[in-house]
A and B are shown apart, each in its own frame.
Chain A
Amino acid sequence: MPEDVEALVQFDDVSTQFGDLWALRDVSFGLRKSETRIIFGAAGSGKTTLLKAAIGLIQPDSGKICLFGEEITNRSEHALFALRAKAGMLFQESALFDSLTVRENVEYPLRNQQSETPLTEEEMEGRVREALRFVELEHTLDKLPSELSGGMRRRVGIARAIVTEPPLVLYDSPTAGLDPITANTIMALIAKERDVRQTASLIVTHRFQDGELMANFRYDAGTEELVPVPESGGDSTERALTKFFVMKEGEIVFSGSREQLDQATDPYVRRFAKH
């Protein structure tokens, strides 16, 4: 299928089990440029496994996963490093390297890709500062992660994920454990990244507000703020490009738009809808 050729991530009947538990069960979907998938689900429903499988951190028991058009299933770990490095990932607790400063953390992916994309020290410094400016944390350059608050660490994690300007970013519970104001700041940054660079995003979250924000707001470069997407009209691309998944026991039990999610009748699915 021609649309599959351009999919950045493509899952085909992917299944995996941990003991008797299904972590992924017949999962199939494709994610293309600028698209967003918000993945809801109870704890242990396979959301994080899905994200990790998308970049080959977990190999599924069956099915096929393609990343940037290349099959990653059953590839050796060593053969995956270069491909994985092209995607960005924000881990649940940020997973910043605690022995490195903020600057070293953010420049880590750039140094890692020096052989493919050589940068001078000045260029690297510029890219690091730009990424940290994006998350409004340029002043923390020489701090250690332990000196930052949870929200700030999450923002540095975003800076590290996007510093190489990847076409695909995976976010594992970016707002978990944060207060609502900080959570909104984080989601605003994710929306800004999507709109500024047309990044494809896979976002795992528990909060329906995160999905609301991604579907209903867009970053306005003029005012440098998030503005609501008009309710109707051809301009509302964010809404069309944002789809929702609900996962249960490894299975995608719901896939659709925000409106479809709000109208769902299944009690499990409704737990993640606005009501």
Chain B
Amino acid sequence: MLSFLKDLIASFQEFVFVAGRAFQNIFRRPHYYGDVLIQMDIIGFGSLTIVMLTGFFSGAIIALQMSRALNTYGAASQVGSIVSLTLVRELGPVLTALLVAGRNASGIASELGSMKVTEQIDAMRALGTDPVQKLITPRLTATSVMLPLLTVIADAIGLVGAYLVSVPLLGLLTGSEYWSSSWQVLVYNDLAQGLIKPFIFGIIIALVGCFYGMRTSGGTQGVGHATTQAVVASSIWIFFVALLIDKIFVNL
């Protein structure tokens, strides 16, 4: 038990150390802008299709489920507001982050893990390159920039999905009613948490993926293990941090 706790604290300490260096390197030369763009393409453009599909279906499903519940109270016209609040505040950021975690935290961990077990990370250090600067910082920058953008897209597509269900399909309200109610219900607080969350989730996904990748040991089996750990850990952190941010914003 004691050794387990010691390992846990040592891992967290190591994580904080790596994270600190990754942040420090954002302001330190050399800057690998090319790598940042490549990662933005992989993480951002690469995840676009799945994020759009998930956004669309989430919006449509929420609208479908809510329409039934709201009908009971004769408040079916409020469907736009409900979908908009749910998506922008919570489901958009969390679902997008979970998808990107599944897709990219695993990708990052396996890529860096393979580099670690084939001594490419050591080779990089031997050739005078800081692997944190070259590998972690670009992924951190790219993920924390792209995830809020992906979330905005997911939210927008989700609203379109909900529109298609509640207006043409169920005829609960008119199009203009739907769009005006879903837009007017949002206040700055909602938009702020809808953008701050994915920004922080992006940091978590990149750092957790890189951290597990960089500490991989034990050959190909180790790479698989690191990949699984990265997805599990980043998903748990996403939920935990979502709860923490909700608590802060609810009190505001």
Contact = CB atoms under 8 A, between A and B. Distances in A.
B119 interface: yes
Contact of A109 (B114, B115, B122, B128): B128
Given A91-B119, A98-B118, 11 more contacts: A52-B122, A57-B126, A81-B130, A87-B126, A91-B122, A93-B118, A95-B123, A97-B124, A98-B114, A112-B127, A112-B129
B125 interface: yes
Interface residues of B, number: 14
Contacts of A52: 122
B11 interface: no
Contacts, number: 51
Contact of B120 (A95, A109, A112, A113): A95
13 contacts: A57-B122, A57-B126, A78-B130, A81-B130, A84-B127, A85-B128, A91-B122, A91-B123, A91-B126, A95-B120, A97-B115, A97-B120, A98-B120
B22 to A, nearest CB: 13
Contacts of A55: 126
Contacts of B128: 81-82, 84-85, 109, 112-113
A109 B127 contact: yes
A77 B130 contact: yes
Nearest to A78: B130
Interface of A: 52, 55, 57, 77-78, 81-82, 84-85, 87, 89, 91-93, 95-98, 108-109, 112-113, 160
Nearest to B129: A112
Contact of B119 (A81, A87, A93): A93
B13 to A, nearest CB: 16
Which one of B115, B119, B120, B129 has the greatest number of beta carbons of chain A within 10 Å?
A: B119
Most A CB contacts (10 A, CB to CB) among B114, B115, B129 go to: B129
Contacts of B120: 95-98
A55 B118 CA distance: 18
B119 A108 contact: no
Contacts of B124: 97
B41 to A, nearest CB: 14
Interface in B124-182: 124-130
Contacts of A89: 123, 126
A84 B118 contact: no
Given A93-B118, A98-B118, A81 B123 contact: no
A89 B119 CA distance: 12
A95 B130 contact: no
Contacts of A93: 118-119
Nearest to A88: B126
A144 B54 CA distance: 36
Nearest to A92: B119
Contacts of A85: 127-128
Interface string B107-123: 00000001100111011
B122 A81 contact: no
Contacts of A57: 122, 125-126
A202 B176 CA distance: 77
A138 B118 CA distance: 24
Interface string B96-115: 00000000000000000011
Contacts of A92: 119
Contacts of A84: 125-128
A2 to B, nearest CB: 29
Contacts of B119: 91-93, 95
A267 B21 CA distance: 49
Given A77-B130, A78-B130, A95 B118 contact: yes
- Of all A-B residue pairs in the complex, the 5 with the closest CB atoms, nearest first, are A85-B128, A95-B123, A95-B119, A81-B128, A89-B126
Contacts of A82: 128
A55 B126 CA distance: 7
A172 B9 CA distance: 34
A95 B122 CA distance: 8
A243 B8 CA distance: 45
Contacts of A78: 130
Contacts of B125: 57, 77, 81, 84
